[in-house]
């Protein structure tokens, strides 16, 4: 790693680059990236999912967040790279560091394809303040990384209308109408989930998310798709009946937009990389607005909802089998955090149409459960004991849709504090899950229903209470979520709409002791409409028992008990036909009325 850093510094000197930035993103600001795009990991040796390297002639630094401080300290040893712990006292932000390091009249460099438009604008301001220049078409890592993995060559596949509920031609028609309403004639899409939703296309180019590396330009008479044509097959082409789809090579998009003239272009700068944005000629009228596909894909149609429900039943069967297994094996055989995670995936693989996980599994026992984004490895892999709490936050991609579920399980004797906290989290979950509210309500307005039990006990949790999920797209999907602190960067600012699928996942994390989180996916539905407007409610599609072994029933009120009994009955009625006799009898007892 030290040799790689030294080679980078030498190349920077050759090119007269004073500051060079290497982020973690791909060309599409994807949540997860393919092997080709792991430039920051290749350079630094730090393999966490989030981090940015900034190199100067004087030093090379890496910024990452609290999830990865210990991992980064270990992996950066002997590399010469200085760890900058984000959010800690006296640690500069990336922007303030770059501003201080960039000399007057100097040059700031980066590969603009992996820098967001927003970050690029911030770097522009810094360069202007120093009378410096920006070079954004220089991928120095690519020149150094001799055995860099190639772009994914995995084949794409088509999702039939039986799964999507709407043809690609219909979706393109809706998008063209939205373009017209914005007084635009051209729409550029760079976000993979928006493109794959629009064209009913999926693939395996991005870790966990079943997406295809591509760009798309929608015009009045044609759709231009920039993709490796070798990925496509006859079924995909057939699914585009009624649309004039022109296929061009993936990287040709930059030259294509350079040759757009006298256009009125609709684009979402939050969903586009800096290089592509900068390549658009200045004589075009650029209309910056959220991609219309974002809301369209978030509001699932009836067919999508039916298929997502099927996926969650399959996941419920796998999870219930896993819950039975761990309850009956703990203390009788050695089970580690990784063993438990692998066993859950094995149960999922037994379900028809299982593809792969929808995100990296979180499998944390005891104090590891208190690390919100904990990922067990060979060094941290803790053995589960017949006592305390085990937290599992996992998800799956099935042919019909994606899942995201968290359960915390009692593995044996619990302390009074563990039972109190577990029941508090359950009360929090039920409080939001039972919400009835008028149309037009935002997630910010409802988040207090989940946090009320915590705040009354002078407790809280730092993460959002819930996020949208896609149907075989991104497991974290805007534009709606539950959080009490307004954070525009999260893109969860839209009112709650019918057909959306959102998670409810409150938790509590006691460092050094235990972590508890309870997560279901819920569908937004309409109920009574009257003189006060259309009212809405939530219906859970996650069907897995809550662990009653950890519940203090005396803490629950009558409405909470009624909700829990109804949910447990629905779990038993739906899941039990898919279990063997022993599992079914256990579930019957476990979901009995309280």
In this prediction, residue 489 carries a pLDDT of 67
Domain that holds residue 86: 1-135
Query: At a CB cut-off of 8 Å and minimum separation 6, what does 489 contact?
Result: none
**Residues 161 and 201 occupy one common structural domain:** yes
Question: Does residue 564 register a pLDDT over 70?
Answer: yes
Q: What is the pLDDT of residue 292?
A: 97
Structure tokens at 420: 């109190």
522 pLDDT more than 90? yes
CB count in 10 Å sphere of residue 117: 22
Give the residue from 135, 166, 182 where a domain finishes.
Answer: 135
Beta-carbon contacts of 449 under 8 Å, excluding residues fewer than 6 positions away, are 431, 432, 434, 435
Indicate whether 379 and 283 sit together in one domain: no
Task: Check whether residue 292 and residue 431 sit in a common domain.
Answer: no
Phi and psi dihedrals of 382, rounded to 5?
-90, 140
pLDDT band at 493 (very low <50, low <70, confident <90, very high): confident
Give how far the C-alpha of residue 65 lies from the chain's centroid of Cα atoms, to the nearest Å.
17
285-315 CB burial, b ≥16 within 10 A, e <16: ebeeebbbbbbbbbebeeebbebbbbbbbbb
- State which of 297, 324, 356 marks the end of a domain: 297
Residues 56 and 189 in one domain: no
pLDDT in tens, 256-303: 999 999 999 999 998 999 999 999 999 999 999 999 999 999 999 999
What is the mean pLDDT of the segment spanning 68-78? 87
Is there a contact between 159 and 311 (Cβ–Cβ < 8 Å)? no
Q: Are residues 282 and 202 in the same domain?
A: yes
Query: In whole numbers, what is the pLDDT of the chain averaged over residues?
Result: 96
Residue 51 is part of a domain; what is its CATH number?
Answer: 3.40.350.10
Given 265, 297, 329, the domain boundary residue is: 297
* Section 419-437 average pLDDT: 98
pLDDT tens for each residue of 197-219 = 999 999 999 999 999 999 999 99
Does 54 have pLDDT greater than 90?
yes
- pLDDT value of position 87: 86
**Residue 314 shares a structural domain with residue 450:** yes
Confidence of residue 313 (pLDDT cuts 50, 70, 90): very high
Mean pLDDT calculated for residue range 164-186: 98
* pLDDT score of 492 more than 90: no
Distance CA 569, CA 70 (A): 44
Question: Has residue 529 been placed in a domain?
Answer: yes
- At 112 the pLDDT is 97
397 and 354 inside one domain: yes
Give yes or no for residue 488 having a pLDDT over 80.
Answer: no
In this predicted structure, what is the pLDDT of residue 566?
97
pLDDT at 373: 81
What token pair was written down for 213? 């590396």
Distance between start and end Cα atoms, the chain? 59
**Residue 552 within a domain:** yes
Domain annotation covers residue 65: yes
Whole-angstrom CA distances from 228 to 161, 187, 215, 242, 524 are: 24, 21, 11, 22, 37
Quick one: 89 and 200 in the same domain? no
Asked, for residue 489, whether it belongs to a domain, the answer is no
Domains held by the chain: number: 3
Q: Helices 558-575 and 416-433, interaxial angle, to 10°?
A: 80
317 in the same domain as 344:
yes
CA distance 394 to 403: 8
Task: Identify the pLDDT of residue 324.
Answer: 98
């Amino acid at each position: 790693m030290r040799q790689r850093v030294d080679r980078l510094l030498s190349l920077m000197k050759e090119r007269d680059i004073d500051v060079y930035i290497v982020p973690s993103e791909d060309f599409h600001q994807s949540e997860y990236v393919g092997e080709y795009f792991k430039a920051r990991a290749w350079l630094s040796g730090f393999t966490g999912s989030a981090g940015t390297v900034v190199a100067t002639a004087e030093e090379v630094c890496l910024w990452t967040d609290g999830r990865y401080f210990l991992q980064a300290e270990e992996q950066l040893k002997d590399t010469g790279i200085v760890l900058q712990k984000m959010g800690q006292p006296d640690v500069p932000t990336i922007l303030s560091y770059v501003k201080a390091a960039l000399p007057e009249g100097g040059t700031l460099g980066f590969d603009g394809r992996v820098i967001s438009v927003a970050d690029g604008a911030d770097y522009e301001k810094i360069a202007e303040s120093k009378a410096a220049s920006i070079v954004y078409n220089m991928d120095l890592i690519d020149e150094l990384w001799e055995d860099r993995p190639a772009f994914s060559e995995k084949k794409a596949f088509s999702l039939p209308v039986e799964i999507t509920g709407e043809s690609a031609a219909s979706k393109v028609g809706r998008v063209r109408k939205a373009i017209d309403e914005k007084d635009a004639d051209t729409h550029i899409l760079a976000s993979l989930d928006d493109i794959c939703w629009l064209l009913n296309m999926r693939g395996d180019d991005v870790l966990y998310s079943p997406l295809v590396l591509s760009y798309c330009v929608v015009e009045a008479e044609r759709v231009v798709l920039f993709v490796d044509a070798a990925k496509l097959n006859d079924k995909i082409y057939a699914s585009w009946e009624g649309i004039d789809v022109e296929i061009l090579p993936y990287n040709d998009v930059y030259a294509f937009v350079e040759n757009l003239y006298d256009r009125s272009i609709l684009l979402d700068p939050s969903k586009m990389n800096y290089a592509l944005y900068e390549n658009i000629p200045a004589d075009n009228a650029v209309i910056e607005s959220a991609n219309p596909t974002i809301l369209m894909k978030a509001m699932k149609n009836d067919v999508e909802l039916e298929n997502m429900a099927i996926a969650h039943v399959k996941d419920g069967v796998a999870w219930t089998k896993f819950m039975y297994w761990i309850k009956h094996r703990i203390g009788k055989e050695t089970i580690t955090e990784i063993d438990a995670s692998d066993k859950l995936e094995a149960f999922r693989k037994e379900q028809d149409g299982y593809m792969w996980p929808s995100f990296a599994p979180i499998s944390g026992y005891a104090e590891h459960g208190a690390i919100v984004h904990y990922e067990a490895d060979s060094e941290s892999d803790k053995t589960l004991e017949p006592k305390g709490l085990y937290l599992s936050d996992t998800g799956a991609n099935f042919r019909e849709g994606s899942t995201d579920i968290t359960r915390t399980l009692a593995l044996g004797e619990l302390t009074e504090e563990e039972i109190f906290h577990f029941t508090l989290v359950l009360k929090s979950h039920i409080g939001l899950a039972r919400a009835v509210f008028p149309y037009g309500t935002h997630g910010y307005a409802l988040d207090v229903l989940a946090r009320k039990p915590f705040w009354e006990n002078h407790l809280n949790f730092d993460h959002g209470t819930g996020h949208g999920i896609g149907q075989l797209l991104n497991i974290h999907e805007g534009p709606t979520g539950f959080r009490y602190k307004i954070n525009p960067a999260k893109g969860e600012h839209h009112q709650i709409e019918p057909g959306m699928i959102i998670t409810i996942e409150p938790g509590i994390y006691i460092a050094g002791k235990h972590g508890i989180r309870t997560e279901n996916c819920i569908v937004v539905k309409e109920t009574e409409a009257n003189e006060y407007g259309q009212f809405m409610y939530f219906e859970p599609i996650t069907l897995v028992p809550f662990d009653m072994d950890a519940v203090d029933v005396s803490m629950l009120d009558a409405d909470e008990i009624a909700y829990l009994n109804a949910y447990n009955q629905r779990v038993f009625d739906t899941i039990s036909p898919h279990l063997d006799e022993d599992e079914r009898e256990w579930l019957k007892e476990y979901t009995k009325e309280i």
